[in-house]
Homo-oligomer: A and B are copies of this chain.
Amino acid sequence: MRVDGRQARQLRNIHIDTEYLKHPEGSVLITVGDTKVICTASIEERVPPFMRGEGKGWVSAEYAMLPRATESRNIRESSKGKVSGRTMEIQRLIGRALRAVVDLEALGERTIWIDCDVIQADGGTRTASITGAFVATAFALAKLQDEKKLPQFPLKDYLAATSVGVVKEKGVILDLNYIEDSSALVDMNVIMTGSGEFVELQGTGEESTFSMKELQELLAAAEKGIVELFELQKNALGEIANRLNL
C-alpha cells in the first residue's frame, strides 16, 4: 500500500476539463491527484525563422510553475531573469513529444504554441503537461479545421505520458506523487502513442542504478497507465476523437 492508499500500478484520480479558458484556441485544466496544470494551445500563422519556406509547421512548448504551486514559495523565473535548466529540459521534452504525433506537413506553415502552467504541484507535472497538452492541441486543431484552414486533421495518433519509479521496499510503482518521487531510487518518464510505440523514454537512477529486469517492469507499468490515459483523453475529446487519423 502506498502513502495515499493506492495500489502499486494504480493511477491517481485524473480529470481533464476542456475549453477551460476563453482566449486560447485550445485549453485544458488537467488534474492528476493534487497536481493541476493549465495547458493551452495557441495557433500562430507563421513558423520560426529556421523553418521558413519549407511548407511545414512547428510545435513549441513552454512550461512554468506559479511561485506557490509548491510547498514553499519559488522565486519567479522572470524575476531571476533566466529560465532554469529544469524548466528548459521540460519544455524541450513537451515540444518534442507533441511533434511526434502532429503531422507537420498537414499543419502547414503554422506554429502551435503549447503553454503548460502548473498551478499546483504534487509530482508528475511534466507528464501531466504532455497528457493535457495533447488534448488542448486537438481542440485547437479542430477549431482550425472548422475554419476550413486545413487539408486534413493533422494529428496522427494519441499521445500520453506518465511516470514510473522504483521505491525502496515497494519496488515498481506507477504515477508517483511528490513524496514518492523524492525517495525513489529510479525515476522514469514514459511517453507513448495510441498505437503502443515509444516517443520518449527518460530513466534516471538518482544516485543509484537499475537493471534490465527493473527496466522491463517499469515499462510494463507505464504502458498499463498510459492505456488508461488514452481512455480519459478520448472522453475529453468527444466528437474530435473521430477526426484522428488512426
Residues of A within 8 A of B (CB): 21-24, 27, 34, 38, 40, 42, 44, 62, 64, 66-71, 73, 76-89, 91-92, 96, 99-100, 104, 113, 115, 117, 119-122, 188, 193, 195-212, 215, 219
Give, as a whole number of angstroms, the nearest-CB distance from A160 to chain B.
13
Min CB–CB distance A5 → chain B (angstroms): 18
- A67-B84 Cα distance, complex, nearest whole Å: 18
Closest to A223 in B: B212
Q: A115's contact among B24, B62, B67, B80, by CB below 8 Å, is which?
A: B67
Roughly how many angstroms separate A85 CA and B209 CA in the complex, as a whole number?
Answer: 25
Interface residue from B22, B119, B193, B210 paired with A21 (Cβ < 8 Å): B119
A198 touches B207 (CB 8 A): no
Query: Which residues of chain B come closer than 8 Å to A71, judged between CB atoms?
Result: 23
Q: Which residue of B100, B113, B122 is within 8 Å of A205 (Cβ)?
A: B100
The distance in angstroms between the C-alpha atoms of A121 and B85, with both chains bound, is 23
- Among residues of B, the one whose C-beta sits closest to the C-beta of A103 is B207
Q: Which residues of B contact A69 (CB under 8 A)?
A: 21, 23
16 A-B contact pairs sorted by A residue (CB < 8 Å)? A21-B119, A66-B117, A67-B113, A78-B80, A78-B87, A82-B82, A85-B92, A86-B92, A88-B88, A88-B89, A100-B209, A198-B205, A199-B204, A200-B202, A200-B205, A201-B202
